[in-house]
């Protein structure tokens, strides 16, 4: 890139992904790195003799940004570890170890808060068989940084860059629950006349999303690309499209939306499914030759997934997500820490 072009670009307001691409993506040599910055996690070659690659992901959760300030220590811990485990699922890796960097306000540095936090962390770690191996604690505004390490057989890790025209587009589970859960937290009145069981289910999923590890391991030898849905389906499928140089066509009639949302939030549920974040389901693509295998698994109840569209060629060299045949212009970037 020419210097004057770079100067012009950096004088504009940069978003989260612009900052990563411009200042960190090619910062160092990539010796031993099979897959670097740009996916949900990095894949590292351990040695020429090893049959296993190391998968590494790191996420920071900040008070008031990634969880409500009045969330309990138990809830915060469970959410922090689950969203990091979801990155392992996106790469089709088996989680093994994690480190914890905990920045804690002095008023929360008491035995009860720490006991509740460690209990929440331990329960998730036990469920997914991963071990805490180190980290750091400091005093300051509440934030939690977890670095997750996992394993994948050499060459078996999934990336965002493998989709080609004709591939089917699938998502796991239900979409829209994450956005609805956030509404249940921030606008309680929206659920005042709804059955209590609806908000309870949504709150449970918000604080403890279900990382799709088992599903990822099942599909990893068939899927061509994969990502977890943290910023919203359109935004995250858009990442696959940009990395793969393709476009995607999504049929909204096929979106898997929980019956509770369809019945009680008819006007909002499709928007939540398309553009809402925090679902932590998987979006993955499958080549035409393997579609029948995936569809049969779904039919037999062996795989909780739905085919929602197809990968198409990007004729204008501008990868996009088409919704019912029309290019999506709403919230293409998804959630961004630096651009509202």
Give me the number of domains the chain comprises.
2
Q: Where does the pLDDT of residue 38 fall: very low under 50, low under 70, confident under 90, or very high at 90 and above?
A: low
Q: Domain check: are 276 and 201 in the same one? A: yes
Q: Domain check: are 318 and 174 in the same one? A: yes
163 within a domain of the structure (yes/no): no
18 within a domain of the structure (yes/no): no
Q: Where does the pLDDT of residue 35 fall: very low under 50, low under 70, confident under 90, or very high at 90 and above?
A: low
Residue 306 dihedral angles phi and psi, to the nearest 5°: -135, 135
Q: Domain check: are 137 and 68 in the same one? A: yes
Q: Specify whether the CB–CB gap between 166 and 311 falls below 8 A.
A: yes
Taking CA atoms, 43 is separated from 74, 204, 286, 333, in Å, by 31, 31, 21, 25
Q: Where is pLDDT greater, at 2 or 229? A: 229
58 within a domain of the structure (yes/no): yes
Q: Domain check: are 300 and 275 in the same one? A: yes
Q: Domain check: are 188 and 274 in the same one? A: yes
Q: Domain check: are 184 and 293 in the same one? A: yes
336 within a domain of the structure (yes/no): no
Kindly give the residue spans of alpha helices, DSSP state H, lying in the chain.
3-10, 16-23, 73-90, 111-127, 177-186, 196-207, 213-219, 233-244, 259-264, 269-275, 291-299
Across 21-30, 80-89, 236-245, least confident range: 21-30
Q: Domain check: are 132 and 221 in the same one? A: no
Q: Domain check: are 212 and 282 in the same one? A: yes
Which CATH number covers residue 113? 3.30.1330.10
11 within a domain of the structure (yes/no): no
Residues 157-200: tens digit of each pLDDT = 999 999 999 999 999 999 999 999 999 998 988 888 888 999 99
Q: Domain check: are 145 and 213 in the same one? A: no
Q: What is the mean pLDDT of residues 5-24?
A: 48
Which residue among 126, 153, 180 closes a domain? Answer: 153
What distance in Å separates the CA atoms of residue 50 and residue 47, rounded to the nearest whole number? 5
Q: What is the mean pLDDT of residues 247-273?
A: 96
Q: Domain check: are 319 and 178 in the same one? A: yes
Which residues span the domain enclosing 83? 31-153
23 within a domain of the structure (yes/no): no
Closest to 312 in 3D by CA, of 258, 218, 244, 264 = 244
């Amino acid at each position: 890139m020419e210097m004057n072009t770079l100067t012009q670009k950096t004088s504009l307001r940069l978003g989260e992904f612009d900052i990563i691409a411009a200042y960190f993506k090619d910062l160092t040599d990539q010796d031993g790195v099979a897959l670097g910055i740009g996916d949900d996690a990095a894949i590292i070659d351990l040695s020429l003799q090893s049959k296993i690659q190391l998968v590494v992901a790191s996420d920071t959760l900040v008070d008031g940004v990634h969880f409500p300030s009045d969330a309990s220590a138990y809830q915060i811990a469970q959410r922090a570890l689950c969203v990091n485990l979801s990155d392992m699922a996106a790469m089709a890796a088996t989680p093994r170890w994690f480190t914890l960097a905990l920045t804690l306000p002095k008023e929360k540095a008491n035995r009860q808060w720490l006991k509740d936090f460690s209990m929440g962390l331990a329960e998730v770690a036990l469920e997914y068989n991963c071990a805490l191996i180190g980290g750091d604690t400091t005093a300051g505004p509440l934030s939690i940084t977890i670095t997750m390490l996992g394993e994948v057989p050499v060459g078996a890790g999934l990336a965002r860059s493998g989709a080609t025209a004709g591939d089917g587009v699938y998502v796991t589970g239900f979409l829209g629950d994450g956005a609805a859960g956030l509404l249940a937290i921030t606008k309680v009145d929206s659920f005042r006349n709804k059955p209590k069981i609806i908000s309870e289910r949504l709150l449970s999923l918000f604080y403890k999303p279900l990382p799709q590890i088992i599903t990822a391991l099942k599909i990893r030898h068939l899927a061509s690309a994969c990502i977890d849905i943290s910023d919203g389906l359109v935004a995250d499928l858009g990442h696959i499209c940009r990395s793969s140089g393709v476009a995607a066509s999504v049929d909204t009639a096929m979106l898997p939306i929980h019956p509770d949302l369809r019945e009680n939030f008819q006007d909002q549920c499709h928007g939540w499914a398309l553009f809402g974040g925090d679902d932590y389901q998987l979006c993955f693509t499958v080549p035409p030759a393997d579609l029948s295998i995936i569809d049969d698994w779904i039919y037999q109840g062996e795989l909780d997934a739905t085919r929602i569209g197809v990968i198409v060629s990007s004729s204008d060299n501008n990868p996009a997500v088409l919704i019912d045949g029309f290019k999506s212009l709403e919230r293409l970037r998804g959630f961004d820490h630096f651009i509202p």
